[in-house]
Every structure is written in C-alpha cells, then in structure tokens.
Amino acid sequence: MRENILEVKNLKAYYKILKGQVKAVDDLTFNIKKGEILGLAGESGCGKSTLASTLISRKPPLHHISGEVKLNGKEIMQIPEEDFKPMRLKNISLIPQYALDAFSPTKKIKTFIIDLVQEHGIKPDREFFDKVKERLYLVNLDPSVLERYSIELSGGMKQRVIMVISTILNPDFIIADEITSALDVSSQRFVATMLANLRDEGIIGSAMFITHDLSILYQIAERIMIMYAGCFIEIGPTEEIVKNPRHPYTKALIASLPQVGIQYQDKKLSGIKGTPPQLLNIGEGCRFRYRCQYADKQCEISPVRERINEGHYISCWRWKELGSDNNA
Amino acid sequence: MPKNNENMMSVKGLTKVFKSGVFKPQYTVAVKDVSFDIKPGTILSLIGESGSGKTTIGKLILKLLKPTAGQIYYKNKDVAQINDKKEVKEYYKKVQGIFQDPFATFNPLYRVDRIFEIIFSSFGYDQTNKEERIHKVLNDVNLNPGRILGKFPHQLSGGQLQRLLIARALLMDVDVLIADELISMLDASTRIGVLNLLVDLCKENGMSVLFITHDLNLGYYISDYTLIMYKGRLVEKGDTKKVYQNPIHPYTKMLFNSVPDIGRRWDKEEEFLPEQVVDDVRKFYATNQGRGIEEIEEEHSVLFSLK
C-alpha cells in the first residue's frame, strides 16, 4: 500500500452570494497516493476548478463549509493564511487554467519570474536562475526565452515556462488545471507527457490533472475521478473507468467521445440530453437524475458513496442492478 | 443527397497576405495557394493548428476579407465579382457562417428571436407562415420553441445558442455553411448532439458544410472529405478515410500521432517533440523536389514539395 499525499473527506465548499449558496463542491471524498497522477474529469460547471481553488486558496465568495483535507497528514483547511503561505509552491502548487494570459506583455519573462518568486520569499539569485535554466532545458526550451517577451512565445512554450515556474521548488503535490486545453494537439501531447516525466524524475511528487478531456487522462492518469454538478460520481483505475464504467453518467460521457476510426455513417454516437442543473441553493438528491434515463423515486435522496471493488467507488443508487455494459 | 455533380463551391489558388506596419511593412502569408472543391450535400473538414490559416479561409469565403490572389467560385460565379449591395445580400442568403463563441454572436440586449426577424426584415424572405416555419426549424434542431423564443441569450446554454444558429441557417435554406470551431466551446455530452444534427440536416437538405476544426477525432467522425493545413498551405487532402488511414505528409503524420485517443496510448519510448516537425517537413520537401502536389491514389493528394 502506498501512502497518501492528499486525503479529502466529505469536503464541502460553497460560494456564498446574496441569493444564497452555490454548492459547487458538495461532499467530496477521495485521496491521492504518493507518486500518483489522478485525473479529474467533468464538464463545465462540475466543480473541478472550484475544487482546485478550495485546496490552494479559499477567497470569498468561496467558503469552506465542512469536511477535512489532509496534505501529508496535516489538516490544511483550518490553518491560518500565514501558516499556509509558505506551503504553497513547496508542498502544494497550482498550474492555473488561464496561466497563458498571466504574463504581462510589457515585461520580459525573466522579470515576471523575479516578481513572482520574490512574492513567495525566494531570492532570485544566480543559483536560482541556474536551476531555472536547467529545468527549461528539461522541457526543451532554450534559456534565451528568459530574455524574451511573452508575445514572442507560442502557447505551448508559455505553458512550459509556467510549468517550470510552478514546479521550481519540487512540490509534493501539484494541481494542473486544464493545462492542455488551450493548446494544439501536438503541444498537448508534449505538455501532458512532460507532467508525467516530471513525476517520474521525482521533481514533483503527485499530481491532480484536471481536464474536460477524458482521452488525455487515458494517456497519463493512473486513476480517474468523475464529477458532475459539484458531486462525486465515480473513481477508479483508468482502464476500468474507460473500459468498464458503471455510473450512468460516466457511461454516457464515454459513449459521447468520438474516436479515430469511428465515422458517422458507421456508428452514430449519442450525447446526453439536457443541461446540468443550477447549483444555487440546490436541494437533496442525485444531481444527474434530471438527465438520467434510469432515474426513479429513490434518486430524490442523495446517493451514498459505495465500493465496487478495490479502488473503484461510485455514487449511484442503482449501479448494482444496472450492471456493466462492458462496451469496450 | 447531392443535387448534381457540379461543385457548390470551388476555391482556386487562394492566397492571402496580411500587411502590417506603415513605414517598414511586414508581410504575413496566412493562406498560400489553396485549392479545393465543395460538392453539394457533403461535409468537408478543414483541420489545422492555431495560426495555420484555417479561419482566414472561412473569412475569405464569407467575403469578410479580400483575397490577395486566387478565386472563389460559388456555383461557377466568381465571388470577387459580387459587389453590388443586392448581389451581396443574395450571396449571404446562401452562404452563411457560424463561429466559435455563440455568446459573441448574439447581441445580449435583444431577445434571441431577433436572429429570425432579421431574416425577414432585412433579407426580404417570404413572410407567409413565418411563425410556423420558425417553429418547424426549431423542432428540427431539437429545441422547444415555447421554451426558447422570447428569451435573452444569457438565459440559454451555449449548445442551445449554437442550435439556434443552425436553425437560422435552415430557415434561410443556405447552400454552404462555414462552421468555424462550431462545437469547441461545448461540452462532450452536448456537442455530439449538435454534430449529429448538422450531419443529418446536411444529408437531408443537400447543404454543404465547411467544418473548420482542430479536433481530428471529430473531423473523422463527421466529414466526407478532409483538408489538412500547415502554415497556410494545404498539405494533404482527400477522402477522409483515405487520408486518415494512409497519411503521407510528415505534418499529417505528426498530427495523427499526437491525438489523444481513448483505448490507444501514446508510445512512451518515442521521443516526441512538436518542434521536430519543422525539420521533418523541410527534409520531406527537399527529397521530393519538383513534385509539387501529386495525387497518390484516387481522391487523395499530397503536397510533396514547394515549387
């Protein structure tokens, strides 16, 4: 048994606004093992980015409601900001979604890095930049990028610079939020593979890879967790989630993915009708029930998390009777 | 269901050079010597990465940009010759575009019904049974008219707005639809619905679609023909199955190699560098000097070298 780097138990994080509470992360339980890449997939508004913000910084209107999060065995939801700040970048780090736009067009990449690390109390001395250059080499970038402006770099190059900065202190755990989404397919492959390489070389400990694209997770994640409308749906080993999904939502999601080799004339894929519910003041019950063809009376009560087999958990009342399609 | 074998649209030697700067102008070749045909009732996907010039081609066809060289023919008529206001309107009745961001297409201050009203008020379509016809096209795109009409854009989802725009194209009975990254802002579970709809409508009504995308899997799923763009040039084109099963150009190969596919993992041992393709393409052109564009099998041609 590997040890856990992150343990999340019954985590609830809501946005408190005038009209009430937006229940963006509602009762989430999972853990990430040391050295593991966990993939987190879901559609827009499912709470995956909120989960990232909850783990790394809770700024109003986002509030931690209940539940605990342990990083390396240490509870981090309750500790004051001044104690948590030194942990960022070192113990827990985030590669944010819109990082590509974060560079100021009027500053050199080097100036941007200096500003950023000073904010975290690191001295940008020669030794530091030697390390940066070494890492740039690792991601196939020439150290001369430091002297360039952000507009001179392509999206993929910028994403690589961001990854070098976010991992410069060898964080134990890193959250990668949609880091491949804005990139071309060729850069996507490079950046995703790079994250796995950084892990293999021990530069980062573990990672949570957030994306809407299951086919990328299939490439690099060991386990995949699926979320829907702020709730936990299913978690399990990658191969099992993809080839033998058990939750009606996971099944539908995977069935909607086009693959090379499938043409419209041969096999018509089906989507999911309807849209996810509004999370503002949402009540009891399975949140997928409005779009689920198997929903019945029972589903008006929130389902409990159940174990299917080792490492495979699900949150659905009817998973046993529905069985597995084994559609692979 | 092609009406006849004549091309709906034909693009010949299309080139677009952008000029920037006044005193020391810099020239960017966005599209270079691109030729292809669109047959009635077919879906043609135009695939390329950012900056390859795919959107520029869409804009040239929609007359939002003027070509530097080359011609676009719509039903054998040179589109560049369509200049007087009335003719341009007639052209837009038959050739329409739908773009990536539906929220940017709709004016947030007006109800969504306005996109239909404009058809009648400014394009001068026949007004008889207006309501009935709007309801019919909405039903065709699986939208409930009662729940859609009268709403403001922010009250609807991205998928619903894109469907509305498809409904509008249907109502106008367009010949050619330029769909530029139509579904890239939609979620996996909703985009398939929009795509299926598009193919169904295309086959039923003989509408042609130029599907501009960066997503190879989606391109394969819906299109009859595939065009691969790299740095402003068409490097490979032909029957979708043939191009995907037997890619020849190094850029096409690299592209197919990097697609994440469920059920097939990337080769971990293979050293993969996206930058490598620049060299590969240069070598490919050098070894095949003088060949230019060649048809390697029926309905499949490759750019072997730059002449």
Is the pLDDT at A188 greater than 70? The verdict is: yes
* pLDDT at site B186: 77
Is the pLDDT at B126 greater than 90? The verdict is: no
| DSSP secondary structure string for all residues of B160-187 | HHHHHHHHHHHHHT-SEEEEESTTTTS-
Q: How much is the average pLDDT of B68-93?
A: 93
Question: What's chain B's average pLDDT?
Answer: 89
The CATH architecture of the domain made up of A4-322 is: 3-Layer(aba) Sandwich (3.40)
Q: Residue B270 contacts by C-beta under 8 Å, 6 or more apart in sequence?
A: none
Query: Chain A, 139-158: which have a CB under 8 Å from a chain B CB?
Result: 140, 155-156
What is the Rg, in whole angstroms, of the alpha carbon atoms belonging to chain B? Answer: 20
Is the pLDDT at B2 greater than 60? The verdict is: no
Residues of B in contact with A242 (CB under 8 A): 262-263
Q: Which of B159, B196, B216 sits opposite A260 (nearest CB)?
A: B216
Give the residue among B1, B9, B4, B5 at the shortest CA–CA distance from B175.
Answer: B9
Residues of A in contact with B220 (CB under 8 A): 258, 260-263
- Highest average pLDDT, of A91-95, B69-73, B169-173, comes from B69-73
Is the pLDDT at B20 greater than 80? The verdict is: yes
- Best of A153, A180, A189 to substitute, by most chain B Cβ atoms within 10 angstroms, is A189
Judged by CB atoms closer than 8 Å, whether chains meet at A263 and B265 is answered as no
Express each pLDDT in A127-165 by its tens digit: 999 999 999 988 888 999 999 998 888 888 888 888 898
* Domain parsing of chain A, residue ranges: 4-322
Q: How much is the average pLDDT of B184-189?
A: 78
Q: Where in the sequence is the domain holding B217, given as residue range(s)?
A: 9-247
B234's tokens: 């068409």
Q: Chain A: nearest CA to B86, how far in angstroms? A: 38
- Best of B262, B275, B277 to substitute, by most chain A Cβ atoms within 10 angstroms, is B262
Choose between A213 and B190: higher pLDDT.
A213
**B73 interfaces chain A, CB cutoff of 8 Å:** no
**B221 interfaces chain A, CB cutoff of 8 Å:** yes
CA–CA gap between residue A168 and residue A120 (Å, rounded): 12
Residues of A in contact with B191 (CB under 8 A): 256, 271
**Which amino acid is it at A266?**
D
Q: Residue B230 contacts by C-beta under 8 Å, 6 or more apart in sequence?
A: B48, B49, B52, B249, B251, B281
**Looking at A91-105, A235-249, B87-101, which range is the least confident one?**
A91-105
Express each pLDDT in B268-287 by its tens digit: 888 888 888 999 999 999 99
Residues of B in contact with A263 (CB under 8 A): 220-222, 240-241
| pLDDT confidence band for B61 (50 / 70 / 90) | very high
| pLDDT confidence band for B3 (50 / 70 / 90) | very low
Judged by CB atoms closer than 8 Å, whether chains meet at A43 and B258 is answered as no
**A260 interfaces chain B, CB cutoff of 8 Å:** yes
State if pTM tops 0.90. no
| DSSP secondary structure string for all residues of A259-322 | -TT--TTT-------S-PPP-BT--SS-TTTTT-TT--GGGGSPPPPEEEETTEEE--TTHHHH
User: In this prediction, what percent of chain B has a pLDDT beyond 70?
Assistant: 98
Domain harbouring B160, CATH code: 3.40.50.300
Q: How much is the average pLDDT of A40-55?
A: 91
* Residue B88, CA distances (Å) to A45, B61, B170 in order: 41, 12, 19
Phi-psi region of B206 (alpha: psi -120 to 50; beta: other; left: phi over 0): left
Q: Buried b vs exposed e over A112-130: b needs ≥16 C-beta within 10 Å?
A: bbbebbeeeebebeeeebe
Give B206's DSSP letter.
T
| pLDDT confidence band for B235 (50 / 70 / 90) | very high
Judged by CB atoms closer than 8 Å, whether chains meet at A258 and B218 is answered as yes
CA–CA gap between residue A228 and residue A33 (Å, rounded): 23
Is the pLDDT at B102 greater than 90? The verdict is: no
| pLDDT confidence band for B193 (50 / 70 / 90) | confident
Q: Chain B: nearest CA to A75, how far in angstroms? A: 35
What is the enclosing helix (H) or strand (E) of A56? helix A48-56
Is the pLDDT at A89 greater than 90? The verdict is: no
The answer to the question of residue B18 being in a domain is: yes
Query: Chain B, 224-243: which have a CB under 8 Å from a chain A CB?
Result: 240-241
The answer to the question of residue B60 being in a domain is: yes
Is the pLDDT at A326 greater than 70? The verdict is: no
**Looking at A292-296, B108-112, B154-158, which range is the least confident one?**
B154-158
A131's tokens: 């390390």
**Looking at A31-45, A240-254, B99-113, which range is the least confident one?**
B99-113
Number of domains in chain B: 1
